[in-house]
Amino acid sequence: MTSPARSAVHPSLPLPTRAVMLLGILVLVGLVYSWLINWRTTDVEWWFVPWLEHIIQHGAKASLEAPLRVQIEGVNGFANYSPPYLYLLALASTASGWLSPFILVKLVSITGALFCAGCIYYLIRALASPGVALLGAAGSLLLPSVALNGPAWGQTDMIWSALAALVVAYALRERWAAMMLAFGMAVAFKLQAVFIAPFLLHMVLSRRVSPRYFLLPALSYALMMLPAWLAGRPAWDLATVYLEQAGAYHWLSMNAPNPWSFVQFTRLVSYETGVVLGSIAAVLVALVLGAWSVRWRRLHGSDLLLLAVVIAAAMPYVLPKMHERYFFLADILAFSLAVCRPRPWTIAAAVAIQLGSVGAYASHMLSFTLGKYLGALLIGAALALLLHHLWLALRPRRAAGALSSSRLA
């Protein structure tokens, strides 16, 4: 099991200094979030607030059992988010007598950001000291993508990404049952959590995970859907909740900072062809990153976290139909790697991925169209850098094996 003793690479800071830094970060978080919470977005005003108002008016049970048609082509159910998000809105509705639906939706997102920070702490703590992990977790709240995704945009990518980060954190601690359960919970919250699936493939093929754990993701997914089922939603609808979302948008890129933005702009291929090609590319990338690396070396510690960062950035980079927010997991994992393993290349990669995401956010939130294209170039450069260092992490044992073979010959 990985030891937190790896934190020795960080310079030691006196306790009073760490306390002052932590206090300063939290004060700054309060100021930034209180300013951003009033930012109006179409997602909040056209979607989340009406959903919350429906829950307030009809009650949680009725809102979960009776689908409400929404005005987007291809989406025929109540909301196009899975039930776990609706549970959070139902919980927030209990405070509707004191706060407006708009503020309640934003507070749900801010709570998600705090939950994400807690999961980042747990992840970093697997490789670093408590002080480093605490400052890193607090600092994550000031990442531009976190501040924009939560208090500004009112989105929920922090939650599924936090659960996916727990998958990596549990793997670092060799807590295999918890790792599989966290994956099921993440997928239940949002389908994009499958981006981390090649990481699980690596863990399974490296023979670290017993087959007796293989059904745990399905179990935790089912448990996450249980309240909606008890409210009256058919089990089949809950099992296939994401199939309906797949046909909601017919664009190869939704401002995503990946090559499909260029393909869509230049109209190189049709939507149907792009979906097929992108899906094939994603499967190949998943197999290469998840299975091929096992042939060479069983990764541990920060090298294992490096693999997770590469996977989290590569999957939305090659997949079509991605939104600008879908690099959020890569944002927080790259940041965590830079905190745990502060090197020029880890910091450069984390900054490039963060700027790439912010560029894509600007395309949506500020109509800065160029942002997604610049973001695609930045994240592509970060991926190349990370892949180079992953290759270096995998290469030594291969070279040692070849040397051993030559000696035997």
DSSP notation for 158-202: HHHHHHHHHHHHHHHTT-HHHHHHHHHHHHHH-GGGGGGHHHHHH
| 263 or 16, which is more confident | 263
pLDDT on residue 61: 87
Q: Which domain covers residue 90, as residue numbers?
A: 35-193+216-242
**Tell me: the pLDDT tens digits for 374-402?**
999 999 999 999 999 998 888 755 444 44
d(CA 253, CA 249): 9
Confidence of residue 8 (pLDDT cuts 50, 70, 90): very low
| 5 or 107, which is more confident | 107
Give yes or no: residues 314 and 388 share one domain.
yes
Place of tokens 């912010």: 358
CA-based torsion, 339, 344, 347, 350: positive or negative: negative
The pair of three-digit structure tokens given for residue 339, joined into one six-digit string:
């905190």
The pair of three-digit structure tokens given for residue 263, joined into one six-digit string:
């393909």
Give yes or no: residues 220 and 290 share one domain.
no
pLDDT on residue 66: 63
**Tell me: the pLDDT tens digits for 85-96?**
999 999 999 999
Share of the chain above pLDDT 70, in %: 87
Give yes or no: residues 171 and 264 share one domain.
no
d(CA 30, CA 12): 27
pLDDT on residue 293: 62
In a domain, 89, yes or no: yes
| 399 or 115, which is more confident | 115
Give yes or no: residues 59 and 170 share one domain.
yes
Residue 341 pLDDT exceeds 90:
yes
Q: What is the mean pLDDT of the chain?
A: 87
Give yes or no: residues 276 and 225 share one domain.
no
In a domain, 200, yes or no: no
pLDDT on residue 405: 37
203 exposure class (CB count in 10 Å sphere: 0-12, 13-18, 19+): buried
**Tell me: the pLDDT tens digits for 51-64?**
888 889 888 888 88
In a domain, 188, yes or no: yes
Place of tokens 């977005």: 41
Give yes or no: residues 238 and 260 share one domain.
no
pLDDT on residue 118: 97
Q: What three-state secondary structure class fits 255?
A: strand
Give yes or no: residues 116 and 237 share one domain.
yes
pLDDT on residue 207: 81
In a domain, 307, yes or no: yes
Q: How many CA atoms lie within 13 A of 344 on its CB side?
A: 0
Residue 260 pLDDT exceeds 80:
yes
Q: What three-state secondary structure class fits 155?
A: coil
Q: How many domains does the chain have?
A: 2
| 209 or 116, which is more confident | 116
Give yes or no: residues 96 and 234 share one domain.
yes
In a domain, 2, yes or no: no
d(CA 28, CA 311): 32
Q: How many CA atoms lie within 13 A of 95 on its CB side?
A: 14
What single DSSP character describes residue 12? P
Give yes or no: residues 163 and 103 share one domain.
yes
Give yes or no: residues 234 and 268 share one domain.
no
pLDDT on residue 380: 97
pLDDT on residue 67: 58
Residue 354 corresponds to which amino acid? Answer: Q
Give yes or no: residues 271 and 342 share one domain.
yes
Q: How many CA atoms lie within 13 A of 245 on its CB side?
A: 17
d(CA 405, CA 312): 35
d(CA 188, CA 153): 22
Give yes or no: residues 60 and 98 share one domain.
yes
- Residue 75's DSSP bridge partners are 72
Confidence of residue 303 (pLDDT cuts 50, 70, 90): very high
